[in-house]
Amino acid sequence: MSIFNFFRAAPRASAVQAKERLQIVMAHERAGRSGPDYLPMLQQELLAVIAKYVNIDENKVEVKLDRGGDCSTLEVNIELPAREQAKAAAAAKTAEKPAGNDDAAAKRAAGNAGAKKRI
């Protein structure tokens, strides 16, 4: 065993990993602390706008927030009824908004038609 270990690349120092993990998690926590908590409101209003044009089923709405190093993505997937497909283009909205203080994270809201074509 030890002979094989000898040839293996030295593992990255755990302290380096600790620092990196802390920096990532704390950047988000600080941004969330200082910024206004508009996320739930934004989601609600987006849905309200789409509901004005398309008859959407609230159970078929999927909201996902991905937190990355420099960029956060807000993904809103809304399944539209099949016969409404023609109107889907009008319903799909794209909103861009800077999220944090330090990291210029863009939050993208994508309305997804029944055909699963991402906009």
Partner 1 sequence: MSKIIVMTSGKGGVGKTTSSAAFATGLALRGFKTVVIDFDVGLRNLDLVMGCERRVVFDFINVINGEAKLNQALIKDKRIENLYILPTSQTRDKDALTREGVEKVLNELSKEFDYILCDSPAGIERGALMSLYFADHAIIVTNPEVSSVRDSDRILGVLNSRSRRAEQGLEPVTQQLLLTRYDPERVERGEMLKVDDVLEILAIPLLGVIPESQAVLRASNVGMPVILDEVSNAGLAYSDAVGRFLGEDIEHRFVTPQKKGLFSRLLRRSA
Chain positions contacting partner 1, by CB under 8 A: 13-16, 18-19, 21-23, 25-26, 29-30, 33
Which C-beta is closer to partner 1: that of 1 or that of 13? 13
**Min CB(1)–partner 1 separation in Å:** 21
H-helix or E-strand containing 78? strand 72-78
Element (H, E) at 61: strand 61-67
**Of 25 and 119, CB closest to partner 1:** 25
Q: Which residue, 20 or 62, has its beta carbon nearer to partner 1?
A: 20
Looking at residue 12, its amino acid is R
Q: Are strands 61-67 and 72-78 parallel, antiparallel or unpaired?
A: antiparallel
Whole-number minimum distance, CB 70 to partner 1, in Å?
17
Residue for token digits 């910024």? 35
